[in-house]
């Protein structure tokens, strides 16, 4: 009985993996002739409609998905640079290529909840190219302001720092509450583009 069940599951798995529309060809097209790449882009655009999207200078009110409190984030500036706070990209990334850059995002974060908290312990932001689903986490050593307690009504200013390449994307995205219903994006046009 176990052998039959294993064979049945393997057959289902193979059938699912070899979905070629029944025509014996694997040409990356669905049954209506559209390429799966086009379908994926359409799905991504549909999914991005559900996200709250802000620009540089705008303030987002974000709800912590895990802790259920509100906070404000404003992206004040964005730049790609070879040096941050005296640290050069070549010193940070061994053998860095010419295109390597620090992505520096100046932010203001305001505690609009009734409780004090340490921002770096309660939420973070991912940095990605506009076509990326995931993203990178910030380099902690540059955002020490986020390690201090922020009381109700208090605001902090600092810069989030990531590494990237200057020609990686035309637009970058800063993502708060990543993969939650509260996911919030800031669009960051490439200043080198």
Q: Which domains does the chain have, with CATH numbers?
A: 52-189 (2.60.40.1240)
Burial environment of residue 65 by CB neighbours within 10 A (0 to 12, 13 to 18, 19 or more):
middle
Q: Assess whether pLDDT exceeds 50 at residue 29.
A: no
Q: At a CB cut-off of 8 Å and minimum separation 6, what does 133 contact?
A: 44
pTM here?
0.74
Q: What is the pLDDT of residues 72-107, one digit of tens each?
A: 999 999 999 999 999 999 999 988 889 999 999 999
Q: How far apart are CA 29 and CA 9, in angstroms?
A: 26
Q: Is 105 helix (H, G, I), strand (E, B) or coil?
A: strand
Distance CA 59, CA 71 (A): 10
Mean pLDDT of the chain: 82
User: Nearest-5° angle of CA 159, CA 163, CA 168?
Assistant: 120
């Amino acid at each position: 009985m176990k052998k039959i069940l294993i064979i049945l599951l393997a057959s289902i798995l193979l059938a699912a993996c070899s979905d070629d529309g029944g025509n014996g060809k694997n040409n990356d097209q669905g049954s209506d002739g559209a390429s799966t790449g086009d379908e994926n882009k359409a799905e991504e655009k549909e999914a991005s409609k559900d996200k709250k999207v802000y620009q540089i200078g705008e303030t987002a009110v974000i709800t912590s998905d895990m802790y259920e409190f509100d906070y404000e984030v404003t992206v004040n500036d964005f730049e790609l640079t070879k040096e941050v706070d005296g640290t050069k990209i070549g010193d940070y990334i061994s053998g860095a290529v010419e295109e390597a850059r620090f992505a520096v995002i100046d932010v203001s974060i305001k505690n609009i909840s009734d409780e004090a908290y340490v921002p770096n312990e309660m939420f973070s932001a991912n940095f990605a190219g506009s076509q990326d689903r995931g993203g990178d986490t910030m380099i902690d050593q540059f955002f020490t302001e986020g390690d201090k307690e922020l009381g109700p009504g208090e605001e902090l200013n600092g810069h989030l720092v990531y590494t990237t390449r200057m020609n990686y994307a035309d637009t970058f995205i800063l993502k708060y509450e990543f993969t939650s219903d509260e996911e919030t994006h800031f669009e960051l046009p490439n200043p080198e583009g």
